[in-house]
Amino acid sequence: EAQLVESGGGLVQPGGSLRLSCAASGFTLNRNWMHWVRQGPGKGLVWVSYINSDGSSTSYADSVKGRFTISRDNAKNTLYLQMNSLRAEDTAVYYCARGDGYSLYLWGQGTMVTVSS
């Protein structure tokens, strides 16, 4: 069964850094576009970032551009999100999702990131 499992969330101070991981199983990551999506407490879904199948193309929401970096290690079947200069407004559950065409077909269970002093 195909699944995604995120890890790496936690409590970090404003201005700090955190790296999220998303491990894929049951399918080969290198055939798919991948995304990160976040959801603040009691809020809606917000698309954060995209990466193509070989990692040569990436894109970001304006709110995280220049602070977050998406990457992938296809040999390890793992997706990453490096988050720097974190702000209180980055507090959210972060989901990774497998793209299928222009939709987000398979989602992980999410990992919580809390930015607070």
Partner 1 sequence: QSALTQPRSVSGSPGQSVTISCTGTSSDVGGYNYVSWYQQHPGKAPKLMIYDVSKRPSGVPNRFSGSKSGNTASLTISGLQAEDEADYYCCSYVGSYTWVFGGGTKLTVL
Q: 56: buried, middle or exposed (CB in 10 Å: 19+, 13-18, 0-12)?
A: exposed
Binding status of residue 107 toward partner 1 by CB under 8 A: yes
Cβ neighbours of residue 101 closer than 8 Å, sequence gap 6 or more: none
| Contact call for residues 9 and 94 (beta carbons, < 8 A) | yes
How many residues touch partner 1 under the rule CB under 8 A: the total is 25
Among 10, 15, 16, 105, binds partner 1 (CB under 8 A): 105
Q: Give strand pairing partners of 99.
A: 104
Applying CB under 8 A, the span of 17-25, 70-78, 82-90, 93-101 interacting with partner 1 comes to 93-101
Task: Check binding of 17 to partner 1 (CB under 8 A).
Answer: no
Chain residues in the site for partner 1 (CB under 8 A) = 35, 37, 44-47, 50, 52, 57, 59-62, 95, 100-110
